[in-house]
Amino acid sequence: MKKQRSILMLFVVMFTAILFSPAKASEPLRVAVSIPPQVYFVEQIGGDLVDVLCMLPEGATPHTYEPTAQQMKQLSQADLYVRIQVDFENAWWEKMMSANPDMQVVDSTEGVEFLEGHVHEEAGGKHEHEDEKHRVEESDHHEHHGRNPHIWLSPRAVKMQVEDICQGLVSVDPEHKDSYTTHKESFLNTLNSLDAEIQNKLAHLKTRTFMIFHPAWSYFARDYGLEEISIEIEGKEPSAKEMAELMKIAKEGQVSVIFVQPQSSRRSADTIAKQIGARVEMLDPLAANWFENMRHVSDIFAETLSR
């Protein structure tokens, strides 16, 4: 009898071990993301429960980046991928998925309202993807081509992504639902305060129009009543004719500041600035400390547009 009971206990122990072994009781959840600001978002919600792998290295642009073999290997260890639908992620998606077919996926663009009118060049000349993308779009009744991908650059647009990220973490690791939900609520409060802070900073400006080489701040402009004029046209440097037109627009709009970013060329911005007597300022759309960067950027907007 005693022997039977210990055999039964052994089965219970074994069964429990099998049941809980994939949950990695103490190991953090391995979450892969595309760009540095997403690391910040996932860490706000996941805290110590997550270990985040970012595909885009510092200084690279999400529009043309190509993941390395080493990164693909790292990706094969990930439990969850948080999508944001930037260009390189879309172009490499199938390859990334085949590197890790067991990986769960959450799309943080779910429910986000995209702005149109921003066509980027295909990453790495992966033109065979285009037909496929079009097929998906048609079957989804969605037009993804030419939409502006920079949805991480306005607190209001980030709120929806935060909800999606939290749902993704909970679905892969339901055991820690309470922790994820509590952290999410607290981050949403932080985002609301940040939104109000930026709103106040930008309430009274001398001008609300700015020029920029790469139109990364369109969502920020939309949410805080600013007008963004892009120098880059459909992801390309403007032609001589387009440059002349841009200078005319800049003069008429009394543009006093032109923004550039560390990941793009600043040549045409410098040329226009020199012609119209505007200053050139650097804004980083991909800074790793997203929160501090948003405050810093809103200070620069407030300062340069008040002159």
Nearer to Zn ion, 166 or 216 (CB): 216
Residues 216-245, mask of contacts with Zn ion (x by CB under 5 A): x-----------------------------
Question: DSSP secondary structure string, 77-116?
Answer: T-SEEEE---HHHHHHHHHHHHH-TT-EEEETTTT---EE
Task: Work out the number of other CB atoms within 10 angstroms of the CB of residue 90.
Answer: 21
Shortest distance in whole angstroms from residue 13 CB to Zn ion: 53
Shortest distance in whole angstroms from residue 216 CB to Zn ion: 5
The residue whose Cβ lies closest to Zn ion is 216
Using CB under 5 A, which of the segments 45-53, 66-74, 209-217, 264-272 binds Zn ion? 209-217
Shortest distance in whole angstroms from residue 147 CB to Zn ion: 12
CA nearest to 43, candidates 35, 34, 55, 31: 31
CA nearest to 53, candidates 270, 67, 20: 67
Which sign does the torsion angle of CA 28, 33, 35, 39 carry? negative
Contacts of 79 (CB under 8 A, 6+ apart): 29, 30, 31, 103, 104, 172, 173
Say which residue the tokens 């639902």 belong to: 177
Nearer to Zn ion, 216 or 305 (CB): 216
Shortest distance in whole angstroms from residue 197 CB to Zn ion: 24
Nearer to Zn ion, 256 or 268 (CB): 268
Using CB under 5 A, which of the segments 65-73, 131-139, 210-218, 269-277 binds Zn ion? 210-218
Shortest distance in whole angstroms from residue 226 CB to Zn ion: 17
Nearer to Zn ion, 191 or 283 (CB): 283
Using CB under 5 A, which of the segments 89-97, 105-113, 174-182, 211-219 binds Zn ion? 211-219
Using CB under 5 A, which of the segments 18-26, 130-138, 188-196, 212-220 binds Zn ion? 212-220
C-alpha distances out from residue 232 to 42, 97, 305, Å: 31, 32, 21
Shortest distance in whole angstroms from residue 231 CB to Zn ion: 13
Give the count of residues interacting with Zn ion (CB under 5 A): 1
Using CB under 5 A, which of the segments 128-136, 214-222, 230-238, 239-247 binds Zn ion? 214-222
**Does residue 234 come out as left (phi exceeding 0), alpha (psi in the -120 to 50 range) or beta?**
left
Shortest distance in whole angstroms from residue 152 CB to Zn ion: 10
Residues 131-170, mask of contacts with Zn ion (x by CB under 5 A): ----------------------------------------
Using CB under 5 A, which of the segments 23-31, 68-76, 164-172, 215-223 binds Zn ion? 215-223
Shortest distance in whole angstroms from residue 228 CB to Zn ion: 13
For Zn ion, the binding residues (CB under 5 A) are 216
